[in-house]
Structure 1
C-alpha cells in the first residue's frame, strides 16, 4: 500500500473525498490516502506543498496560481469545482456597517497572506472601485479568529464561503452584507513537482477515483441531509448550495489560467505571468 498525503479545507466541497476514503476506493487501487484537514485554508496549504508536508492539495484556484508564480514548485493537475465560490462579506452583527461602501478604508480579517480571504479582498475592492493599495489586513488564522477579531474591533469585515459561514449569520454573530463570487472556477487539485515525479501513476488513479465520486455526488440518496448533518448546515441551504455547485472531471484550461493571472497581475498581486505549462500539467 502506497501512502499519499492530501490536504483540504474541512468543508462540504470535499465530502466526495471522505466518502471515497470511507468506501475504501483508494485502497482498492493500492493507495492509502492520508487526508489532512486544513481549516486555515489555501495560504496554509501552499506552505504545506512548499515544505513537502503534503503531496496534493485541494485548493483555491487564485491562491495556488499566485503561489506557483511566486516560486512554489507545484502544478495544478485538475479542476475540482467548476462553479464560482460565493464569498460572503461579513461584519459583526452589532456593527454599524450596512453596505459595501461603508467598508471602504476599513480592515479586512484574513486567514493569512496569500489565502483566498486575502486575494478576494482585492477582487472585491477592485469591483467597488476602491484603491486596492489602501487595503488593510488583520491575520486571524481561521474562522474562529475572525469571530474574535470582528467582535473586538481589530478587524471590520471578513470574507469567507457563503454557506459555511451562514450558521454564524443565523446565530446573530455575523451579518452578511453582500456576496462576491470568484470570476473563475473556485477549486483545483494541485500536487508538488516532487510528488508528480515520484507518484505520477498513483496520482492518476486518485484522480480517476475522485472523478467517479464527484460525477455522481449530487445524485446520492439524501445527500442534502448527509451534508447538513456532517457540516452543521440547514438542509435548505445545502439544497441551494448543491443547485449552484458543479464539480469537474477535467483539467483547467489555458484561457482560465490566463484570466486568473491577468486579473491578479492588474491588481499588483503578481509581478509576472507564467506560461500555461509552468502552472498546469496533464498527467
Structure 2
C-alpha cells in the first residue's frame, strides 16, 4: 500500500474525494490516500507544496499559478472544478456600509498573502477601477478568524466562497454586499515535482478514480441532501451551488493559463509570462 498525502479546503467542493476514500476506491488500487483539511486555504497549501509536506493539493488556480511563477516546485495536473468560484464580499452585519462602492478605502481581511482571498481582492479592486497599489490587508488565517476580526470592529471587508459563508450571513454574523466570480476555472489538482518524478503511474490511478467519481457526482441519488447535511447548508443553497458547478477531468487549457498569468502581471503580482511547461504536467 502506497501512502499519498493530499490537502484541500474543508468545503463541499471536495466531497468527491471523501466519498472515494470512504468507499475504498483508492485502496482497491493499492493507494492509501491521506487527506488533510486546510481551513487556511490556498496560501497555506502553496506553502505545504513548497516545503514537500504534501504530495497533492486541491487548490485555487490563481494562487497556484502565482506560487509556481515565483518558484514553487509544483505542477498543475488537471482542472478539478472547471466552473468559476463565486466569491462573496462581506462586512460585519452591524456595518453601516450597504454597497461595494463604499469599500474602496477599507482594509481587507485575508487568510494569508498569496491566498485566494488576497489575490481575488486585487482582481475585484481592479474590476472596480480602484487603485490596487493602495490596498491594505489584515491576516486572519481562516474563516473563524474572519468572523472574529469583523465582529470585533476591524472595519475590514472579507472575500470568501459565497456558499461557504452563506450560513454565517443567515445567522447575522456577516452582511454580504455582492459577489465576484473568478474569470477562469477555479480549482486545480496540483502535485509536487518530486512526487511527479517517480509516481507517474500512481498519479494515473488516482486521477482515474477521482475523475470517474466527478463525472457521475451530480447523478448520485440525494447528493444534494448529503451535501447539505455534511456541510451544514440549506438544501436550496446546495441545489443552487450544484447548478453552477462543473467538475473537470482534463488539463488546463493554454489559453486559460495565459489569461491567469496576464491578469496577475497587470496587477504586478508576478513578473513575466512563463512557458506552459513551467506550470502544466504532461501525462505523455
| TM-score range relative to shorter protein | over 0.9
SS at match of 1:114: coil
SS at match of 1:214: helix
How many residues get paired? 283
TM-score by length of 1: 0.99
Instruction: Tell me if the contact between 2:91 and 2:155 (Cα under 8 Å) persists in the aligned partners.
Output: no
CA distance in 1, matches of 2:107, 2:213: 40
Query: How far apart are 1:85 and its partner, in Å?
Result: 0.1
Query: How far apart are 1:107 and its partner, in Å?
Result: 0.5
Query: How far apart are 1:75 and its partner, in Å?
Result: 0.3
Cα pair distance change 1:241/1:163, threshold 3 Å: same
Matched, 1:28 2:28: yes
Query: How far apart are 1:250 and its partner, in Å?
Result: 0.5
Query: How far apart are 1:155 and its partner, in Å?
Result: 4.6
Instruction: Tell me if the contact between 1:58 and 1:188 (Cα under 8 Å) persists in the aligned partners.
Output: yes
Matched, 1:233 2:230: no
CA distance in 1, matches of 2:240, 2:189: 24
Matched, 1:47 2:52: no
Instruction: Tell me if the contact between 2:87 and 2:181 (Cα under 8 Å) persists in the aligned partners.
Output: yes
SS at match of 1:52: coil
CA distance in 2, matches of 1:22, 1:151: 37
Question: Over the residues paired in the alignment, what is the CA RMSD in angstroms?
Answer: 0.6
SS at match of 1:6: strand
SS at match of 1:33: strand
Instruction: Tell me if the contact between 1:137 and 1:155 (Cα under 8 Å) persists in the aligned partners.
Output: no
Indicate the residue corresponding to 2:12 in structure 1: 12
1:197-244 residue CA offsets vs partner (Å, 9 max, x unmatched): 121110111011000000000010000000000000000000000000
Structure 1 regions of 5+ residues with no counterpart? Answer: none
Indicate the residue corresponding to 1:79 in structure 2: 79
CA distance in 1, matches of 2:98, 2:132: 21
TM-score by length of 2: 0.99
Indicate the residue corresponding to 1:2 in structure 2: 2
Matched, 1:188 2:188: yes
Matched, 1:203 2:203: yes
Indicate the residue corresponding to 1:96 in structure 2: 96
Q: Which runs of 4+ in 1 moved over 4 A?
A: none
Instruction: Tell me if the contact between 1:109 and 1:155 (Cα under 8 Å) persists in the aligned partners.
Output: no
Query: How far apart are 1:154 and its partner, in Å?
Result: 2.6
Q: What are the within-5 Å matches in structure 2 for residues 170-181 of structure 1?
A: 170-181=170-181
Worse overlay, 123-132 or 270-279 = 270-279
Indicate the residue corresponding to 2:282 in structure 1: 282
SS at match of 1:16: helix
Indicate the residue corresponding to 2:213 in structure 1: 213
Indicate the residue corresponding to 1:254 in structure 2: 254
